[in-house]
Structure 1
Amino acid sequence: MLVNGNTLPKAYWLLFILIMLLTSYQNLLKFGKVQHYQMDEFEYYGRILFYLITSIAESIIYIVFIWLIVSIVKRVAEKWGISWVNR
């Protein structure tokens, strides 16, 4: 786990960036309709910042779920004696 200086593997960080870009696109352009804002008030910048922060939080939740599923699959594979997971 993430204790004693351990960190996520690089694959998860790359996956995090990909998921964050996709959720940011979805939140900003599809749900937020940012392309229709005139950007003349601070409220619009606050909305964009809010959408970006929620996209980061959503991406973190996705990564945690993916990490949990992968760790469960690895444990089950070790229990059954399947060695192809650790290659």
Structure 2
Amino acid sequence: MMEWINNMNCCHIAFMALIVNMVSLAIYASYNVRLDKKEMNLEKRTKELEKKNGKEQHEIDKLNQKIEKLEKLNNLLVEKVLGKSKIKK
């Protein structure tokens, strides 16, 4: 073992460093690919949720309009009833 280490020159060391570097780059690339996949899935889910939220917001707006109409109608009816009750007295 010691003979092998003693016989190493700069080319051997550079070659080992190259192999280590290539392995680390492969690990980094696979990590990046997984992150990109997760990001795409998150973007897709976000768009689905925004679309769903838009529909729900539209329904909420419609319901708020109905509430406003019903409140106005209720106010008119109350005014008529109170107005008539004042006249009757």
* TM-score bracket relative to the smaller structure: 0.3 to 0.5
Higher normalized helix content (fraction of residues) = 2
Instruction: Calculate the TM-score normalised by the size of structure 2.
Output: 0.44
Larger Rg: 2
TM-score normalised by length of structure 1: 0.45
Specify which structure has the bigger relative contact order, considering alpha-carbon pairs within 8 angstroms and separated by 6 or more residues.
Answer: 1
